Amino acid sequence: MHIDLGKKTALVTGSSAGIGFSIARGLAGAGAEVVVNGRSEGTVAAAVDEIRQEFPDAVVRAAVADVSTEEGAERAVESAGDVDVLVNNLGIFGVTPALEITDDDWRRYFEVNVLAAVRLTRLLLPAMVERGWGRVLNIASDSAVVIPEEMIHYGTSKTALLAASRGFAKAAAGTGVTVNSVIAGPTHTGGVEDFVYQLVDRSLPWDQAQREFMRAHRPQSLLQRLIEPEEIANMVVYLASPLASATTGGAVRVDGGYVDSILP
């Protein structure tokens, strides 16, 4: 399967590290012009340099902005220019007992995990529709479907993101623009390593801690290991391509079989 994203520009939010960086790297490898986004000029510049070193012919640019704010979203769009592929990857998560989640916590999670994606979609979708081609991809989570008791605010925000994705797909019906969610399962990132050690013995070596975490807290996983960020990126690159032209309004799983369902 040959994926060619030449002459396409992709904006990936929260892409200076983790899953977002792997997605930006994958899109650059497929020939897209990639706009790396983050709040820190230093980390964004480092990510841009790393992708350029791996793909010397790639066009990789920076958009330093906090897209969880209206001003930051507008700044990112201005920096990116015409965007053909929008990947709303930015997200936060953390462990808090359900009855201790404050109103401010709830607001922050919805601002970052939902409204950031909604704003950018609202800003960029009309031009995609006018051009007759575009891709909007929202990085969701298995927690949207299997709400974890230790972070219901996170899970609920990702459920809302699935709903928003489906709604925007309907708004783009028949235009050549597709909108999809990617349901990522438990994934191995630096942030997740910190999360794992909040739930298991910090004295355990990483490999043992990972196995204990999956056994005790994610036993539904059929993969029985954490997913690597590149495995999420592979699906995103496919969905961003012309090859996925008939897939829209979907919530496509890259969850290692974690969600106990035969659909989607």
Q: pLDDT tens digits, residue range 41-71?
A: 999 999 999 999 999 999 999 999 999 999 9
Confidence of residue 192 (pLDDT cuts 50, 70, 90): confident
Supply the pLDDT for residue 96: 95
Select the more confidently predicted residue: 1 or 264.
1
Mean pLDDT, the chain, rounded, equals: 96
What percentage of the chain has pLDDT greater than the value 70?
100
15/146 Cα distance (integer angstroms): 25
Q: How far apart are CA 44 and CA 34, in angstroms?
A: 12
Residue whose structure tokens are 């592929």: 85
Average pLDDT over residues 228-235: 98
Cα–Cα distance for residue pair 206/197, rounded to 1 Å: 9
Residue 143: per-residue pLDDT: 96
For residue 250, which of 260, 231, 235 has the smallest C-alpha distance? 235
Residue 38's pLDDT is 98
DSSP 226: P
Give the pLDDT score at 65. Answer: 98
Q: Does domain 9-187+227-254 have CATH number 3.40.50.2020?
A: no
pLDDT 10s digits, 163-181: 999 999 999 999 999 999 9
- The answer to whether 154 is a known catalytic residue is yes
Catalytic annotation, pick one of 109, 154, 238, 258: 154
Distances (CA, A) of 131 to 172, 218, 240: 12, 43, 16
- Among residues 51, 28, 11, the alpha carbon closest in space to that of 237 is found at 28
For residue 123 the two structure tokens come to 């800003």
pLDDT tens string 65-113 = 999 999 999 999 999 999 999 999 999 999 999 999 999 999 999 999 9
CB-based contact 22:230 (threshold 8 Å):
yes
How many angstroms separate the first and last alpha carbons of the chain? 22
Q: How confident is the model at residue 195 (pLDDT cuts 50, 70, 90)?
A: confident
> Measured between alpha carbons, how far is 20 from 27 in angstroms, rounded to an integer?
11
| Residue 86 DSSP SS3 | strand
Residue predicted with more confidence, 191 or 35: 35
Domain positions in the chain are 9-187+227-254
pLDDT in tens, 120-174: 999 999 999 999 999 999 999 999 999 999 999 999 999 999 999 999 999 999 9
**pTM attached to this predicted model:** 0.95
Which residue type occupies 260?
D
Q: How far apart are CA 262 and CA 149, in angstroms?
A: 23
What is the reported pLDDT for 191? 79
Token readout for 58 is: 């790639």
pLDDT at 45: 98
Q: What's residue 156's pLDDT?
A: 98
